[in-house]
Amino acid sequence: MAFELWIQRFLDDHSSAALVAGADIGELEFHALMQDPSFTNIPGTNTYRMMHYSGVPWLLFELDTPLETPSRVRLSISYTNFRFARVFNDVFDLGLGLAKHLNAHLVDENNRLIEATQLDELLNPDGEYVQTHLKRWQDSLSEINMHNQAPLEFPLGHVDSVREYFCLSVLPAAETNAEQISEQLGYAIRFRNESHTIGAIYDPDTQRLIAKILFRADGKIQIQPFYWKEPFAKAAAETMAIAESIAEKFDGQLFFFTQPVSTELLDTLRNRINALGVDFYWWVGEYFRKVHA
C-alpha cells in the first residue's frame, strides 16, 4: 500500500472546521489545477505524475470519484520508491498549497487533518510520524526482495509493488556452480539456504548486494535485480550484465522469463530498461500478451 494524502472539502467528523459539506472537486477544476508543466497526465485518465525537483519520481495525483462520498484528490507516494526518504516531507507543503487553492482540507490516510501550524512538529525527523513511515519504507523494500516482488516508483491506485517483472535466466551448456560463476565474474555469492540454491550476488570489496541468484532444478541459473536504494534502470542494467556474462562465459542460452532471448529481444530489453520500473512493468504485460496472442 502506498502512502496517501487526500485533498477534500469535507471532514468525516463533521467538525466546525468542515467546509461545504458534500462539495465535489470536479474534473474541470482538477485538470485546471494540473496545468503546471511539472504535472504529466497519463493519457485518457484523471491521473497525473510529478517528478521531484531533485529529478526522482515523486507523486501521483488522482481524482477519486466514489459513488458514496464527494470527489476528492489523492496524492500518493510509493513506499517502494527508492528515494522515499528524500521526497516524503516535501509532499506536505505542496499538498497544503493545492488544498488552499481548491478551498479544501488536506488529510492523511488516518483522516488526520494536516495544518501548516503542525508541520514542524509533525515532520520532526526523529518524531514518531516520520519514523513510522521511514520504517514502512525500509520494510517494504525488504519484503519485495524476500517475496519475489518488484517496486513501482509511482503507485498504481493503492498498489506500490507487483510480482517481479524483470527476470532473466541462463541455461548453460554444462552444469555450472557458484564457485565457477564467482571466479569468472569477480563477484561473490552468499547463499540463504543450506542446499545452496538461493543466494545473492554481491561486490566483495564494497559488500553491496547487486542481484539475486537461483540455481533451479531444471538447470537454469536465474538472475533478478536486488531492489534497494537504486533506480530500476541501474538495478536492471546490472542484472542484465551479470546474466549476459554468465551466458557468454558458460556458452548458455539466455531467457527473459520463459522466452528465449533473441538478438532483437536483447536489444529491446537494453533499451526498455532505461526507464522507470512502473513503465517497464506495463511494457512487459503488453509484450507477453502479443507473444501469447
Rounded alpha-carbon distances, angstroms, from residue 176 to 65, 70, 194: 55, 61, 18
Chosen domain end from 99, 133, 156? 156
124 and 14 assigned to the same domain: yes
245-255 tens-digit pLDDT: 999 999 999 99
285 and 212 assigned to the same domain: yes
Domain count for the chain, please give it.
Answer: 2
102 and 218 assigned to the same domain: no
What residues contact 78, with CB distance under 8 A and at least 6 apart? Answer: 2, 3, 57, 84, 151, 152, 153, 154, 155, 160
Residue 209's domain comprises 168-291
128 and 177 assigned to the same domain: no
Contact assessment for residue 221 and residue 169, using Cβ atoms and an 8 Å cutoff: yes
- Residue 162 belongs to a domain: no
- Residue 62 belongs to a domain: yes
- Residue 161 belongs to a domain: no
Q: Facing residues of 222 across strands?
A: 169, 214
Chosen domain end from 108, 131, 156? 156
pTM: 0.90
83 and 209 assigned to the same domain: no
- Residue 213 belongs to a domain: yes
269-287 tens-digit pLDDT: 999 999 999 999 999 999 9
Q: Mean pLDDT, the chain, as a whole number? A: 92
118 and 203 assigned to the same domain: no
Chosen domain end from 127, 156, 185? 156
180 and 265 assigned to the same domain: yes
- Residue 163 belongs to a domain: no
Q: What is the pLDDT of residue 13?
A: 55
8 and 135 assigned to the same domain: yes
124 and 176 assigned to the same domain: no
Task: From first to last of the 293 residues of the chain, give the pLDDT tens digit.
Answer: 899 999 999 886 544 444 455 578 999 999 999 998 999 999 999 999 999 999 999 999 999 998 778 899 999 999 999 999 999 999 999 999 999 999 999 999 999 999 999 999 999 999 999 999 999 999 999 999 989 999 999 999 899 999 999 999 999 999 999 999 999 999 999 998 888 888 999 988 888 899 999 999 999 999 999 998 789 999 999 999 999 999 999 999 999 999 999 999 999 999 999 999 999 999 999 999 999 98
Cell of 164: 517481479
Identity of the residue numbered 92: F
Count each helix (H run) and each strand (E run) in the chain, helices first. 9, 15
The SS3 of residue 261 is coil
